[in-house]
Structure 1
């Protein structure tokens, strides 16, 4: 009996210690938040941007849309917030500590931690399902992106190597889309990784272009709304970008992990996300005709920036397929 009482007392004290620790961290976090606000208000530098608020608004919007539990979203928000405060610790190579520099980088840390935590906790929901048709659309878009960017003008062995690999994978994507070759696990793994690489490349290009925009505050209303929309949509896609990043980063060996086990699990994720259904030949043909015309006209007349046109094609082509399905019933589509 005496032993049980001691154990119960010890458990209670441990529970209270943890509770007090959480409260202490919360108080420290709130005090630091007020101090950050004070330093930002008295600083001559512009430390916060409305653009980042638009980005995070998009991230929150997509979080609540994807998650079926708002409490989980709030928990991720709070946890990411406190983790992001670690940004204010001095860096190893930081000889002169400037608090304002840490305030500037703090929102990026917060957004990164939040997107990472949400992508991990909602892995199944944010992992984009893929088909032969989606890979074909991505591959053809990459061809346009490569030509319009001018990558084909580079004359060195590295560029030739990358272009050769890309050409072979594009050809492999087209072959699978136009034939009834068996979608084995190896094929699905290859096509999934290839699709992920393309999506991540487009995402990185889009990130650079969005952040190259002028500040919303210094723009006219119409331009500011357009820039804000770009940041909002970037926020919406942030968790998917993070998920694609993790699917690619998992191929890199970790110092403290079991690489064989991690690689096997990552390969399984790629295979499971890829459909084993064959795409309809007519839809593949329609895809080539549609993107060929749209990208060809945009390349010649520069109607829209290439990244905007690519996302516009991604948006409109499924609508074209649905219209086709309405006319010709019983056909498979890319969605």
Structure 2
């Protein structure tokens, strides 16, 4: 690279830096002088969650900081007027600004970390998810619906759930077709829970308005966990939406090439190893007990109970395995 080209790049970077600094200062001024709460603490909790998960995926803080910086810079596109926007309102764009950052940070993290973002699935995981979705349907009261469409969807979901139960409790070979089917089913369940979780979390009052610190921390934790899951929500969304043809790939050769690659990603992320039937039985016993108690006594909101089970069960299984091995050795 010539000296003139390097100089021009340096000047461009300086200009972009000064522009970003000026825009940031102005946005900060408008936030501080506004009568509205433009960026609530709940949004900051989501940002903290997505950055926390970004660091867990990355080995270096420098990568996280560069990802955050790139996301921050590109987030200023949020201030461009929309095509259907009638009357530009700068404060409305400030409210959208942090969500741009969250989405871009998640997308860049997916691009940078590839396979790390696509967790390996097993028969045990899809069994756990299937039990959770059955509990979710029952607890919502959907089984009492009169809607033919909703009943049809539930029947299809039940068949997929029974398919995952069949594989968890038998030694049936996990063929490419089976792994593809179970991986797609897992993505559908996680997108369903993600949508419900987002809706339920945003039904909470603002953290700033809570009556006591304990309740505020409880709500803040829900927003933080939502931030942690953002990367995986977007990844599952991408892995599902890829099955739909795009504007320029409406069932053409490119679409089928992309479809083949997407199917390969789904199959690759699903393990072909059989899980222990004993573990499957323990999964049904543990999750069934937790969900039954929560359904009867309404201890926790259903979305919180589901995500707690998702987080805790793998650790309980590890403890169970360690205890079993010690017993066998003794």
1:241 maps to what in 2?
A: 233
Give the drift of 1:189.
0.6
| Bigger radius of gyration | 1
Single out whichever of 176-185 and 118-127 deviates more from structure 2.
118-127
Query: Residues 290 and 33 from structure 1, CA distance in 2 versus in 1: closer, same or farther, beyond 3 angstroms?
Result: same
Structure 2 gap ranges (5+) = none
SS at match of 1:47: coil
Please say if 1:124 is aligned against 2:115. yes
**Cα root mean square deviation, aligned:** 1.7
1:227 maps to what in 2?
A: 219
C-alpha separation in 1, matches of 2:121 and 2:64:
26
Query: Residues 256 and 30 from structure 1, CA distance in 2 versus in 1: closer, same or farther, beyond 3 angstroms?
Result: farther
Structure 1 gap ranges (5+) = 1-7, 331-335
C-alpha separation in 1, matches of 2:270 and 2:108:
24
1:81 maps to what in 2?
A: 72
CA deviation map 1:239-277 (0-9, x unaligned): 122211221122122234521222111111111111101
Q: Give the TM-score, by structure 2 length.
A: 0.92
C-alpha separation in 2, matches of 1:67 and 1:211:
29
> 1:123 touches 1:243 (CA, 8 Å); kept in 2?
no
Please say if 1:140 is aligned against 2:136. no
C-alpha separation in 2, matches of 1:256 and 1:122:
28
Please say if 1:297 is aligned against 2:289. no
Q: Which of residues 228, 239, 243 is equivalent to 1:251? A: 243
Give the drift of 1:141.
0.6
1:155-304 correspondence to structure 2 within 5 Å: 155-219=146-210, 220-256=212-248, 258-304=254-300
C-alpha separation in 2, matches of 1:326 and 1:290:
17
Single out whichever of 264-273 and 63-72 deviates more from structure 2.
63-72
Give the drift of 1:322.
2.5
CA deviation map 1:102-151 (0-9, x unaligned): 11111111111111111221121111111001100100110000111122
